[in-house]
Each structure stands twice: as C-alpha cells, then as structure tokens.
C-alpha cells in the first residue's frame, strides 16, 4: 500500500463527566490512503464521531485524548495549536451531521465561505467571490449568485449540507471527514449527497472518511470499511469483502438487520435484531465488549479482550470466534 | 419583518389602551368624591362644580375616558394642585431622568457585556468565579443602599463628589460630577443582570454546532469567540434589555430620591406624598406609555439584528 | 412504590427516590448553595422567633441614649429615637420575611392557575391572558406600587399586594411555558383516552411536573420581594412607622448619614445577606434541577 495519508494508532478518548469518567474510544487504530473512501460504521454511541473529532482536537475540554494521529509526518494530537489551526479547514476539513445548526444563522452563506478562503488562501475580493461561486457550482447548488447573499434559514436542508460541503472543500483539502452527512436529511436527498461525495473523490482526489450507522450508505460509496463497537474496532475490510464474508458476529448482525423489501413472497423474512444493549462506557471491561449479546460467547470471550488479527487477506477482525 | 413589527405594534397599542383605562379607573377607584380628589381636597363648592364640569364627572364613564384620552393625546394632562400644567412639569423633569437612565445603561453595557464574555470564555476558572460572584452580589445589593453607602464614602468622608442635587447642561462638567454616583449606582443591578445574561448566552453560543464548524475551519479562537459566538449572543441579549428598562425606571425613582435629584422619578413620589391625583394620573400614564414604546423600540432593534426575523 | 424488575430480571429502584438522592448529592456538592440555604433558613427562623429573640420589644425606646454608639447595652447602637438597633433589625427581619414570602405566595396562587390555563387551552384564552399580562407588565414595578399606594394608601399590606402583583407576570409566563410543553407529553392523550377530565390532567399530571421549576422561581422571587419591600418602605409607600422594616430604617438613616452612618450600614448588611442567601440558594437549586442550564 502507498504511504498512508493519515495513520491513527492506539487512539483513546476519555470524558470526565459529573458522574464519573466515560471511555468513549479504546485504542482505535486505522489508516487512510490518499484518495481513498473509508467508511466507519457502528451504532449511535460507539465512538465513531468522537474518534474523528479528536483528530484535529475538536472535542470539548472534558475530553482526554491519548495515542497518535500522524498526518503528513506530524502528530496532530501534539501539534502546536497555531500549526493545528492551519491544518484545520486547509488540509483536513469536516462536514457535520446537522446542517441547520452547523451553519451560523446570523451570517450569509457567502460570508461563511469567504471566511475560510480568507483565512487560508491569499485571494483578492474578486478571486474569492469567483471561487465561492465555483464551489457552489461544484456542489450543484442552483442559482449560486443568489445563494451567496442568503442566510442559512432560507435554504433547504439538502442545500445547507451542500453549502457545508462547499465550505469544507474550499481550500482543496487532502482529507474530508463527513460525520453522518446524510442522517438528518430525507432519503431522497441522501442519494444526491452521496452522489456528490463520489463525484468529489473522482474529480478532486480527496480522501474521505465517511461516518455512518447506515450500512447501505457505506456499500454505495466506500472503498474500505471499519466497524466499531463500544469504542473499539471490531472489524476492518475492503467493502465487497466485508459484505460478502462478514466475520464478526456484530457485523453479521448488522447486515442481517438491513431491511430488504422485495417483491414476492419467498423473500419475506423477519428483520433480525441484535438482542440486548450497548454496554455502558464507564468501565473498560476486560472482556469482549460484545460478549453479552453474542451468540458465540463463551468463557474466553468473557475474560479476555480479543485482539485484531487478519483472518482473510486484507480482512482484520477482533473476535475469538470469527467466521461467516 | 414587516409582519412581525406590525403585529408587535398592534399588540403594543392594545396594551397601551388597556393600561390607560387602568390608570383612568384607578383614579376613579379612590374612595370618596373624585371631584375632591382631583381638586386637591378643597371643599369649595364653586371650585368643585368647576372641576366636575371640566372633567365631565357627571357624564358616563366611557365618555369621561374618551375625553381624558382626547386631551392627553393633545398634550393636555390637566393641572396639578398648584395650578401648574402637569404636562409641562413632566416635560421639564423628564430629560433629567432620561440622562440618568442613558448614563446607567452606558455604564452597564460597558461593564456587563465584556465581563459576561470573559466569564464565559474562562468558564470554571478563577476569573469566572470572581465575576459571577461579583455579579450575584451586585444583584443582591439594593441600589438605594449602595447609593447611601456611596454618599457616605465619597461625599461625606472623601468630599470627592457632591452628595446630591442636579446641575443643568450649562455646566457640563458639574453636571457629570453630580450624575456620576447616581448613574453608577443605578447601573450596578443592570450590569449584574447583563453580565449573567451575556455569560449564559455566550455559553450557549460557544456550545453550538456552528462554533464547532468555525473551529474546524481553522479560525483563531479570537474570531470564533469574538465574531461567531459574540454576534449571536448580543442578539439574544437585546431581548433582555426590554425587561430591564422597567427595572431601570423603577430604579431611577429610588436613585433620584436618594440623591435628591429633581427628575421624573422623584416626581412620582412627590405626587403620591402630596396626594395630587391629577399629577399621579399623568405621571403613571406617561411612565407606562414610555415603557411600552421603549419595549417596542427594543423589538424593532431585535428584528433588525436577527436575520431570521428580518428576512422571513 | 416497590422495586420493579426489568425484562432481563435486573431490579430497578423506585425512580423518584433515586432522583431525590441524586439531587441531594448534587446539592451537597455545592457548598455555596448549602450556605445560602442555611443563612436563608436562619433569617426565616429569626423572623418567626423574633418575639423571643429580640432583646427589646418592638416599640421600646430609651430617650437617654439616642444615637448611641455600638457596645454595652445596645450592641449595635441606637437610632435617633432611642430604639435599639439590634432589636429593630430583628423585628425588621420579621416584616421583610413576611412580605417576601406572602407576596410570592400571593403571586403563585393567582398566577400559576392562570398560566396553566393559558398554556393548556391556548387559543383565545391564551391571547387574552397574554394581553392582560402585558398590561400588567407595562407598569414598571415602582410605578405600579405608586399607583396602588395612591389608591389604597401606603401600608404593609398594600406593599405586599403591590409586590405580589408585580411578581405575577413572571409566574404566569413560567406556568404557561411549562403547561405548553407538558401538554405534548404522551401521557396526556393516554389520560384523555382513559376518560380523564381537563381538570384532572391539569392538576394531577401537568402541575406536579412543573413543581421544580416553580420552586426555583419562587426561591428567586422572594429576594426580589424583600428588596422590593425595602424600596417601597424607603420611599414611604410601604411599612409605616411605628412598624419597622429594614427599608424604614434606611429611610430614617438618610438624615443622619454624616453623624451616624452605621444607621444605614447595619440594616443594609442584613438586607444584603438575606437577599444574597436566597439568591445563592435559588441559583444552586436551578443548577441541580435543570442539568441543561449552561453554567
């Protein structure tokens, strides 16, 4: 594999709350190659958003982050704040889940795009405006000239998300981290955004980290997938491989839970759910986090933490009893 | 925005009309013959007859009310016990109180808003605790007591500032010397409230998603706080201003009493003490009207500042 | 309510008791709020037990020792008529607490039902109540008191009335807001489906769920009423001599600022302490009851 763009090793995040510490992420490691689309999948609360926000230190002060995140030869987690701010928005940028609240309601769209251009690039007024228009066209927003002077509340949810993407792409970053970009949008709009993401990867060569709880989205767009559970990595594989030969019982459960509406009676089957609940993240149990809900659980899984190992080519899993 | 303002103006108008009715009925509710009340307790039958005729006391109430409002809209609020025009008295005393109120708001804004911002940015640190505690104490100390203390200290002990009275604008320096303590004292409570509101509003803004986006863009903390968070918070805080104006007017009454300033505020007290009902009526009406109008202005300012209302 | 088990057989403790324990824990972690509660209760106790605590009865004067300095027989000195300052402060506490608590109660008793009705029924009732509240709000508090004093004459009762009326709009707004939100809760249509009348829903379902918010507001209204009483008495619109309150004491102190500043200082300190105590306690209460408040 070519030199990875981003290499995260043993990332752990602990939050100090009023009611005690919460271990949101426990020794996550992953890498991102240039131009690659990495999907990070897991249910709400599994730590996928926290993992990615910790990369450029966007978490609140109650979070303690340990580990390393090497990007372009520098460890982001220990980088000086001044240098880190030059990475943010310029080389690594974000698209968040809620476009309505992620855009500042009191400034125009144009102002908010302008801002990031002015911060990182030396552009004249005219050049900046031209670039802003170009970006809005890139994300396929109709009538871009008018949009520049409009406020976020005047746009629809899908258009706001496109604006967010435009802002994220403004300085041509190497990595775009999209945290549940389509979750807050209608299903019909979702497809458009995903199309856009594919487009971006092809035309601009931007590496994308796509965080989602929706396996369908991942199947559509990602090259490689990481499955997270309770703050730990459960499985990692190229996308077709994962869907064809899932190894971890959790992944298998997730795939079984995808609704597949078909015509015809012979495919009418019950939606399989995974029994039980995600464990509390207050303690780090010295056992497999999924043990309580796993049909393959035994003494071993309840007493030791499974480590990642390669069961098939390019396919890693952290499980004592992997297998399709 | 137009729709929003029209609705607000309409509501304000309704409120004003109802309030004026309340004032009107209030005076009529005083036990005893209204003619005597309005004629300053004189028993002279000729005078009373004259008053009855002038205020139409023999006509039905709605007619009396309409007559009174009609006169008021033309600037005639009657004459007080000393045969002086109520409207004239009010107009001559009002600017003094307005100056006091303006200076207080100025001080409160200059102190309260930056303090609130700093406390929010340094949340949990010593400067936050200090600022919050000072604000809490500032809220709890009745400002007339603060005024008394200030007089004891600065006027009696140190002789730095005069202990009261008012000097007109002909002598601007003297005017400010006399206004300094009263305005500072009056601003104490207001700044405390402003500081707390600003702090709370800033904490909300700083926790908002758009601030996270701003940081993710690589903007400096200065810009994130001073441009993104601050703008939103300032807009939110304007809504508080309206409510505080009422407290300011109440405070002005007390402050003018403590510092012996012959302003509109003190006029209200004098009116009650002298049982001068025409004067009371005029004063309360003007105070309520002013307050309602001021609140409406605050609404206008708010709708201009908030794009969601400006462009709906 | 006895312990209930969840589907997996794990026992669930009575949720109400659990919440109360959690709240108590959070409260005890805020020493300032605890101090506030203690001091506030102290003042209430002083107010209740004044006849037994005060060294001299309420009208007592000693004409041989007017404007005496603190010390000896009169620990805080005496005023211009020979009243013992310490006793006056204690008796003043009684007046202030009385007004503070009664005015708040008055406001709550009137405003909460009105607010709940406005929030629950909405429609034209809501609009009418909103306008009426606006009218009430259009009079700055002192102006309102001035008006009432003009009509009814100045007295302790009328000051209480004025303060109570002044506190009504805030309670209406809160009760209305809570009712507005709570009527959307799922148990409301469930109760209706079970045949509950509007009155049952309002008083058995909605009201109990707003008690914490109302409690916080009440705790924060009392100090406002105490200060309000002091202001009104200071202006001559409230408690009338020979009855005493802190405000009255401060009014007479005005004439003796150069001779005996302590006449202004002591009642003022008492006032500030009482108000601060309630404010601090109320703030702490609000913090622990509403975790969403940004502090």
Q: How many CA atoms lie within 13 A of B90 on its CB side?
A: 23
pLDDT interval class at A256 (50, 70, 90): confident
Mean pLDDT along residues B174-178: 81
Mean pLDDT along residues B243-268: 87
pLDDT interval class at A285 (50, 70, 90): confident
CA gap C230, C251 in Å, rounded: 9
- Sort residue A138 into left (φ over 0), alpha (ψ -120 to 50) or beta: alpha
CA gap A84, A94 in Å, rounded: 14
Chain A residues touching B215 at Cβ < 8 A:
58, 88
Tokens of A81: 């704040």
**Residue labelled with tokens 């005890």:** C28
Mean pLDDT along residues B76-80: 76
Minimal Cα–Cα distance from B206 to chain A, Å?
10
Touching subunits of A (3+ CB pairs, under 8 Å) are: B
Residues B216, A58: C-beta atoms closer than 8 Å: yes
Partner-chain residue, chosen from A85, A90, A106, that has the shortest CB–CB distance to B235: A106
> Would the pLDDT of C293 be above 50?
no
Number of A–B residue contacts, CB under 8 Å = 71
Residue A288 is given by DSSP the state -
Partner-chain residue, chosen from B151, B272, B284, that has the shortest CB–CB distance to C237: B272
Is ipTM over 0.90?
no
Mean residue pLDDT of chain B comes to 84
Assess B277–C contact: CB distance below 8 Å, yes or no. yes
For residue A285, what are the contacts with CB-CB under 8 A and spacing of at least 6? A279
> Would the pLDDT of A98 be above 80?
yes
Mean pLDDT along residues A221-241: 90
Chain B residues touching A104 at Cβ < 8 A:
210, 213-214, 228, 231-232
CA gap A65, C102 in Å, rounded: 54
Q: Out of A116-125, B9-18, B78-87, which region has the weakest mean confidence (pLDDT)?
A: B78-87
Q: Are strands A37-41 and A224-229 parallel, antiparallel or unpaired?
A: parallel
Q: Do the Cβ atoms of B268 and B90 come closer than 8 Å?
A: no
Three-class SS of residue A236?
A: strand
Tokens of B74: 């033309």
List the one residue out of C270, C179, C279 whose CA is nearest residue C224.
C279
> Would the pLDDT of C124 be above 80?
yes
* Best mutation target, A100, A106, A209, to test chain B (most B CBs within 10 A): A106
Per-residue model confidence (pLDDT) at position C294? 43
Q: Do the Cβ atoms of A320 and A288 come closer than 8 Å?
A: yes
Residues B151, C268: C-beta atoms closer than 8 Å: no
Mean pLDDT along residues C158-165: 88
Minimal Cα–Cα distance from B202 to chain A, Å?
14
Residues A96, B306: C-beta atoms closer than 8 Å: no
**What is the biggest distance separating any 2 CA atoms in chain C, rounded to whole angstroms?**
82
Count of all residues that appear for chain C in the document? 295
Is residue C191 classed exposed, middle or buried when 0-12, 13-18 and 19+ CB atoms within 10 A define those classes? middle
Residues B149, C253: C-beta atoms closer than 8 Å: no
Tokens of B172: 């601007």
Residue A3 is given by DSSP the state P
Minimal Cα–Cα distance from B305 to chain A, Å?
8
Count of all residues that appear for chain B in the document? 312
For residue B253, what are the contacts with CB-CB under 8 A and spacing of at least 6? B265, B266, B268, B269, C142, C143, C146, C235
CA angle C39, C40, C46 (to 5 degrees): 85
Q: Do the Cβ atoms of B268 and B67 come closer than 8 Å?
A: no
Q: Which run of H or E residues covers position A178?
A: strand A175-179
Partner-chain residue, chosen from A90, A94, A101, that has the shortest CB–CB distance to B208: A101
Tokens of A182: 């389509």
pLDDT interval class at B36 (50, 70, 90): low
Mean pLDDT along residues A102-130: 90
CA gap A28, A67 in Å, rounded: 9
Q: Do the Cβ atoms of A294 and A32 come closer than 8 Å?
A: no
Tokens of C11: 């026992």
Chain A residues touching B121 at Cβ < 8 A:
none
Please, what's the b/e burial string for A175-187 (b: 16 or more CB within 10 A of its CB; e: otherwise)? Answer: bbbbbbbbebbee
Centroid of chain to Cα C245? 16
pLDDT tens profile A117-126: 988 988 888 8
Residue A74: phi and psi, rounded to 5, are -120, 145
Of A91 and A271, more confident? A91
Per-residue model confidence (pLDDT) at position A104? 93
Is residue C195 classed exposed, middle or buried when 0-12, 13-18 and 19+ CB atoms within 10 A define those classes? exposed
CA gap C78, C86 in Å, rounded: 8
Q: Out of A190-199, A268-277, B191-200, which region has the weakest mean confidence (pLDDT)?
A: A268-277
Q: Out of A82-86, C121-125, C239-243, which region has the weakest mean confidence (pLDDT)?
A: C239-243
Mean pLDDT along residues C173-199: 83
Q: Do the Cβ atoms of A223 and A36 come closer than 8 Å?
A: yes
Per-residue model confidence (pLDDT) at position C5? 53
Nearest Cα residue in chain A from B229 = A104
pLDDT interval class at A54 (50, 70, 90): very high
Per-residue model confidence (pLDDT) at position C290? 67
CA angle B31, B35, B41 (to 5 degrees): 80
Please, what's the b/e burial string for A260-284 (b: 16 or more CB within 10 A of its CB; e: otherwise)? Answer: eeeeeeeeeeeeeebeeebbebeeb
CA gap B182, B155 in Å, rounded: 12
CA gap B5, B13 in Å, rounded: 12
Per-residue model confidence (pLDDT) at position B149? 87
Mean pLDDT along residues B74-89: 79
Mean residue pLDDT of chain A comes to 86
Residues of chain A in Cβ contact (below 8 Å) with chain B: 56, 58, 85-90, 93-94, 96, 98, 101-107, 115-116, 119-120, 151, 153-154, 164, 167
Assess C40–B contact: CB distance below 8 Å, yes or no. no
CA angle A65, A40, A100 (to 5 degrees): 85
Q: Do the Cβ atoms of C206 and C182 come closer than 8 Å?
A: yes
């Amino acid at each position: 594999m070519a030199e990875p763009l981003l290499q995260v090793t043993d990332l752990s995040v602990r939050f100090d709350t009023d009611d005690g510490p919460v271990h949101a992420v426990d020794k996550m490691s992953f890498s991102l190659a240039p131009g690659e689309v990495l999907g990070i999948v897991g249910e709400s609360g599994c730590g996928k958003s926290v993992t990615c926000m910790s990369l450029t230190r966007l978490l609140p002060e109650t979070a303690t982050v340990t580990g390393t995140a090497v990007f372009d030869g520098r460890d982001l987690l220990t980088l000086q704040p001044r240098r880190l701010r030059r990475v943010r928005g310029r080389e690594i940028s974000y698209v968040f889940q809620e476009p309505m609240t992620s855009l500042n309601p009191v400034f125009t769209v144009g102002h908010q795009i302008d801002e990031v251009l002015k911060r990182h690039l030396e552009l004249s007024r005219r050049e900046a405006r031209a670039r802003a228009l170009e970006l809005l066209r890139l994300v396929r927003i109709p009538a871009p000239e008018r949009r520049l002077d409009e406020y976020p509340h005047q746009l629809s949810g899908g258009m706001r998300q496109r604006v967010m993407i435009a802002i994220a792409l403004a300085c041509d970053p190497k990595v775009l981290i999209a945290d549940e970009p389509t979750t807050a949008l209608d299903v019909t709009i979702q497809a458009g955004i995903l199309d856009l993401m594919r487009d971006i990867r092809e035309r601009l060569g931007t590496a994308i980290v796509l965080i989602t709880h929706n396996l369908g989205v991942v199947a559509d767009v990602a090259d490689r997938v990481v499955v997270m559970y309770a703050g730990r990595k459960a499985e990692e594989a190229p996308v077709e491989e994962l869907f064809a030969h899932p190894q971890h019982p959790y992944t298998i459960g997730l795939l079984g839970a995808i609704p597949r509406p078909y015509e015809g009676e012979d495919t009418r089957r019950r939606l399989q759910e995974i029994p039980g609940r995600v464990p509390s993240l207050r303690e780090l149990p010295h056992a497999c986090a999924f043990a309580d809900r796993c049909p393959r659980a035994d003494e071993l899984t309840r007493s030791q933490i499974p480590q990642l190992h390669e069961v098939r080519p390019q396919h890693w899993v952290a499980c004592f009893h992997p297998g399709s | 925005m137009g729709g929003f303002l029209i609705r607000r103006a309409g509501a304000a108008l309704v409120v004003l009309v109802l309030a004026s009715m309340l004032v009107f009925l209030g005076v009529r509710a005083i036990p005893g013959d209204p003619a005597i009340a309005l004629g300053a307790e004189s028993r002279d039958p000729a005078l009373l007859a004259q008053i009855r005729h002038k205020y139409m006391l023999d006509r039905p109430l709605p007619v009396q009310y309409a007559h009174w409002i009609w006169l008021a809209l033309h600037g005639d609020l009657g004459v007080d016990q000393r045969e002086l025009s109520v409207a004239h008295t009010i107009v001559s005393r009002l600017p003094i109180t307005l100056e006091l109120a303006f200076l207080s708001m100025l001080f409160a804004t200059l102190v309260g808003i930056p303090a609130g911002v700093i406390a929010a940015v340094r949340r949990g640190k010593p400067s936050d605790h200090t600022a919050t505690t000072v604000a809490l104490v500032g809220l709890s100390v009745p400002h007339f007591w603060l005024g008394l203390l200030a007089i004891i200290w600065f006027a009696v002990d140190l002789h730095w500032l005069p202990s009261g009275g008012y000097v007109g604008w002909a002598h601007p320096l003297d005017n400010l010397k006399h206004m300094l303590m009263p305005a500072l004292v009056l601003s104490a409570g207001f700044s405390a409230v402003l500081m707390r509101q600003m702090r709370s509003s800033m904490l909300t803004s700083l926790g908002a998603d758009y601030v996270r986006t701003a940081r993710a863009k690589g903007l400096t903390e200065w810009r994130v706080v001073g441009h993104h968070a601050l703008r939103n918070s300032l807009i939110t805080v304007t809504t508080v201003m309206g409510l505080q104006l009422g407290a300011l007017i109440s405070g002005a009454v007390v402050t003018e009493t403590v510092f012996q300033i012959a302003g509109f505020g003190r006029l209200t007290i004098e009116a009650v003490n002298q049982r001068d009902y025409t004067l009371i009526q005029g004063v309360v009406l003007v105070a309520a009207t002013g307050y309602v109008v001021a609140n409406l202005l605050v609404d206008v300012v708010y709708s201009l500042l908030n794009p969601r209302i400006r462009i709906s | 309510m006895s312990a209930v088990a969840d589907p997996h057989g794990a026992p669930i403790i009575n949720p109400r008791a659990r919440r109360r324990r959690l709240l108590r824990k959070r409260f005890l972690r805020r020493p300032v709020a605890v101090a506030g509660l203690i001091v506030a209760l102290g003042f209430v106790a002083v107010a209740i037990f004044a006849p037994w605590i005060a060294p001299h009865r309420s009208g007592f004067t000693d004409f041989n020792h007017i404007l005496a300095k603190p010390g000896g027989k009169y620990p805080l000195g005496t005023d211009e008529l020979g009243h013992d300052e310490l006793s006056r402060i204690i008796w003043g506490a009684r007046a202030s607490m009385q007004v503070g608590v009664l005015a708040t109660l008055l406001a709550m008793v009137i405003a909460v039902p009105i607010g709940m009705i406005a929030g629950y029924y909405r429609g034209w009732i809501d609009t009418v109540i909103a306008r009426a509240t606006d009218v009430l709000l259009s009079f700055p508090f002192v102006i309102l008191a001035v008006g009432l004093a003009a009509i009814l004459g100045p007295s302790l009762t009328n000051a209480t009335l004025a303060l109570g009326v002044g506190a009504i709009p805030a309670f209406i707004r809160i009760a209305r807001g809570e009712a507005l939100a709570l009527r959307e809760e799922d148990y409301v249509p469930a109760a209706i489906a079970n045949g509950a009348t509007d009155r049952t829903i309002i008083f058995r379902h909605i009201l109990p769920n707003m008690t914490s918010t109302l409690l916080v507001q009440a705790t924060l209204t009392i100090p406002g009423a105490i200060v309000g009483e002091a202001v009104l008495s200071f202006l001559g619109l409230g408690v009338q001599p020979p009855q005493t309150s802190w405000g009255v004491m401060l009014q007479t102190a005005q004439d003796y600022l150069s001779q005996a500043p302590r006449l202004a200082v002591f009642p003022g300190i008492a006032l500030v302490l009482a108000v601060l105590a309630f404010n601090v306690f109320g703030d702490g209460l609000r913090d622990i009851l509403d975790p969403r408040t940004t502090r």
